[in-house]
Structure 1
Amino acid sequence: MLYRSLSRISWKALIQPWQEVDWLLFLLAIGMTALGGVAIRSTELHQGFSTWWQHWITGGIGLIMALFIARSRYENLLQWRWIIYAVTNIALLIVIFIGTTANGAQSWVTIGSFNLQPSEFAKVGVIITLAAALHDRGAPTIPMVIKTLAITAVPWVLIMLQPDLGTGLVFGAITLGMLYWGNANPGWIVLLVSPIVSAILFGVFLPAWFFWIGFVLYLGWRTLPWALWGSIGVGVVNLIAGGLGNFAWTHLLKEYQRDRLTLFLDPDKDPLGGGYHLIQSRIAIGAGQMFGRGINQGTQTQLNFIPEQHTDFIFSAIGEEMGFIGCLVVLLVFWLICLRLVIIAQNAKDNFGSLLAIGVLSMIVFQVLVNIGMTIGLAPVTGIPLPWLSYGRSALLTNFIALGIVESVNNHRHRLKF
């Protein structure tokens, strides 16, 4: 009887620091990491090297880090926000000066046999800094929106100098998602994106560009202070963006860069060059049909038709060997992860915790949509990994660190002390 009582007390004492974490969220991330290792192993069977076990080991280290972060008080990050921001930018500067170049980007710092990618960890640094900046008053005013953009601008510029377009786009998604949750006017968020849309439409379909200009003028009139001057400013910015976009497209971007952005629309234009990845990925996913060809049985995957399949194109291996059902399960798991993040954001005890959860949600949603869209031919190849599934030690650790922060928000939503 005494033994049972002591066992019950010791067990409670053991789990007490994590008694309110979202264990389902942890289990979903662990399951995805395990599946990622299986898929990565399949892509490497006939290539003479093996990194799938490193994926699992890194995932185990990341899980331990997430558990440690989950039991720590996330509010302490408020005191360290500017130090975290400074370290983030210093790390990105170091990459520019002594970084290792691979696949056309200088994004890694080599430490022994480990290639560290600071731009991945910078995502978490920016989420923490923006959440700290927005937690008091949010972003209901233009000055607060400008402050938020200024915070993001410094690391974003440093990342674009590498250059790393994919991570730069993730930064944009994080910022917009947190601005929306911080009560920024939705019209302002559309206006922030409008110059990019103008730059694309001007060279692609001019009538659509004229319609877009009219829409943003109206939106500026309805949502901005000093309606007349605000709408005029919006119109001028979009006109300039359209002209600059056309100039950059015709004079600054090289042919292979233009192809990389547009070939997803018709990859058969260059089947042995820029469109090769996309064509082979579509073939692999289509070959899986309903139930897949079986683990280690996919011909496209086993015969190495898709270069670097274990990283950005891991979803094509899942599609070929696990079929439509396997893909559906992966999408369902991601949906559940995002649902749990939204619930944690809604139930957080303060705005800081809520914004942290939304920042992580924005990061994951954008990466999932772009990566899967890329593998099925609905988005250009941008080098964005699939969370917990793609091989990439820095990216995997970043995902678990972000998960640990969100779990800390959930774990401490009621308690003031242990």
Structure 2
Amino acid sequence: MKVRTIDWLLYLCSFLLTLFGIVVIYSITYGQEVTKNFAFYQLVFAGVGFVLLIGFSLLDYRLFRILAYPLYGLCLFLLLLVLFTPLGKATYGATRWINLGFFQFQPSELLKLIIIVALARVSSQEELGLKQLLFSLALVLVPIVLVFQQPDLGTALIIFIIGMGMIALANYPKKYLFALLVIVLLFFGLGSLSLFSVGPFKNILKPYQKERLLVFLEPQKDPFGAGYNVSQAMIAIGSGGFLGRGLGHGPQSQLNFIPSKHTDFIFAVASEAFGFVGVSLLLAIFFVLCWRILKIAQKARDDFGTLLGLGVFLYFFASFVINVGMNMGVLPATGVPLPFISYGGTSLMTNLIAIGLCQSVMIRHKKIRF
């Protein structure tokens, strides 16, 4: 490995985004005991995450072509543990975590990355036909069904976007992709029937999920109920103005008007604190990160590396757009964390491992064997 083959800008952007998240989390948990402070735990998660980032950068990414299916199977096993054993921990009516005592692990977050690895293996085969397409669809749909049972609509949506995006970007015959497009449209059609409680499809979505989607379609329908979260987030974003109110001085965040302010709605807290200028800088760093990932995918010397990079790009970009969109009220609230910024150990470490895999592709892009 040579130093000049490392994408230092990728490392820098990852570090800056993670640091930004820790600072924002600190601003809304200032004064709490260290053992109860989210910022302290996020700092610990970041330390472990960057060790993992370096470790995965040094590993040959092609090793994960061999491990793709075992890792996928392990993730499915962990999802089953969450749903059907006492290890699953329920919070706010959703069972998404495995309680390890000292740490709560969320398998569905890791699954977002493992599904990329598994699909990259299938779609990097020399010949892609109906058999490979159906297998890829199975790899995507099985975990979506399990995640939906938790219930976790946001994670299911991200897995769906990653899966459909990677299949579309692979070299499948166009006739199969057209058929897949028709199936996707039918899928969303069924979702619409569930939203409006039509016939046998009315139970596909949970009641609170329907409320969130209906409030998105009609924002003033329930401003103090299902629409409260997004309404308060939008007020915070607007109150930040051009330069922001400063860390720890935003009334919406400091007076606890914003729910889930350290997780799903942390973008609103950042907007209130740093204003348009600060958030624009955040967006710029994120888009540079995505640009570097796409460049790595372009430079990869094999299809597996290219698809890994494209999958990670879809993962980050979709998560970022959905989170920012729901904070601004232009997309329904689905509970998708903001990459690198939102509080969460499994999420942050998975983000950093994904960066490590991309860096591994970059380091090895000039020659296949060494």
Same fold, TM-score > 0.5, yes or no: yes
Quote the residue 1:123 is aligned against.
Answer: 112
Unaligned runs of 5+ in 2: none
Partner of 1:193: 184
Match of 2:62 in 1: 75
Quote the Cα distance in structure 1 between the aligned partners of 2:317 and 2:97. Answer: 24
Shift, 1:252, TM fit: 6.5
Q: Quick one: distance in 2 between partners of 1:151 and 1:245?
A: 29
Matched, 1:114 2:99: no
Q: TM-score, normalised to structure 1's length?
A: 0.82
- Secondary structure at 2:5's aligned position in 1? coil
Alpha-carbon distance in 1 for matches of 2:369, 2:206: 58
Match of 1:383 among 325, 335, 338: 335
Distance 1:245 1:274, change over 3 A: closer
Check if 1:20 corresponds to 2:20.
no
The whole-number CA distance in structure 1 between the counterparts of 2:48 and 2:25 is 18
* Contact 1:268–1:279 under 8 Å retained in 2: no
What secondary structure does 1:268 align onto?
coil
Instruction: Find out whether 1:150 has 2:135 as its counterpart.
Output: no
TM-score scaled by length of structure 2: 0.92
Q: Which of 218, 241, 254 does residue 266 from structure 1 map onto?
A: 218
**1:316 aligned partner:** 268
SS at match of 1:100: strand
> How many Å apart are 1:108 and its aligned residue?
0.3
What code does the residue aligned with 1:336 have? V
Secondary structure of 1:269 counterpart = coil
Whether the aligned pair in 1 keeps the contact of 2:162 and 2:311 (CA below 8 Å) is: yes
Change (3 A) 1:18 1:75: farther
1:100 to 63, 80, 89: 89
Say whether 1:305 aligns with 2:305: no
**What amino acid is the match of 2:78?**
A
- Secondary structure (helix, strand or coil) at the match of 1:311 reads coil
Alpha-carbon distance in 2 for matches of 1:250, 1:413: 50
CA deviation after TM superposition for structure 1 residue 45, in Å = 3.0
Equivalent position amino acid for 1:311 in 2 = T
- Whose helix fraction is larger, Structure 1's or Structure 2's? 1
SS in 2 for 1:107: strand
* Structure 2 counterpart of 1:34, from 19, 37, 47: 19
* Displacement of 1:43: 1.9
What's the offset of the Cα at 1:188? 4.0
CA contact (8 A) 1:290 1:324 kept: yes
In the alignment, what sits opposite 1:337? 289
Corresponding letter in the other structure for 1:85: Y
SS in 1 for 2:97: strand
Measured at CA, do residues 354 and 245 of structure 1 come closer, stay the same or move farther in structure 2, by a change above 3 Å?
farther
Query: How many aligned residue pairs are there?
Result: 363
SS at match of 1:101: strand
Change beyond 3 A, Cα 1:253–1:155: closer
Q: Aligned letter for 1:272?
A: F
Inter-partner Cα distance in structure 1 for 2:77 and 2:164? 24
Q: Which moved more, 1:280-289 or 1:52-61?
A: 52-61
Find the residue that maps to 2:220 and give its secondary structure: helix
Q: CA separation of 1:121/1:248 partners in 2, compared to 1, >3 Å: closer, same or farther?
A: same
SS at 2:198 equivalent: helix
Amino acid of the residue matched to residue 98 of structure 2?
V
Distance 1:250 1:72 in 2: 47
**2:150 matches 1:162:** yes
Q: Deviations over 1:293-316 (max 9, x none)?
A: 111111111111112100010000
Question: Distance in 2 between the 1:310 and 1:137 partners?
Answer: 45
Deviations 1:237-265 (A, max 9, x none): xxxxxxx9733665665654421122123
How far the C-alpha of 1:51 sits from its partner, in A, is: 0.9
Report the AA paired with residue 196 of structure 1.
F
Paired-residue identity, %: 36
1:412 Cα deviation (Å)? 0.6
1:277 aligned residue (217, 220, 229)? 229
| Contact 2:297–2:309 (CA under 8 A) maintained in structure 1 | yes
Higher Rg of the two aligned structures: 1
Given that residues 180 and 189 in structure 1 are in contact (C-alpha distance below 8 angstroms), is that contact kept between their aligned partners in structure 2? no
1:175/1:46 Cα in 2 relative to 1: closer, same or farther (>3 Å)? same
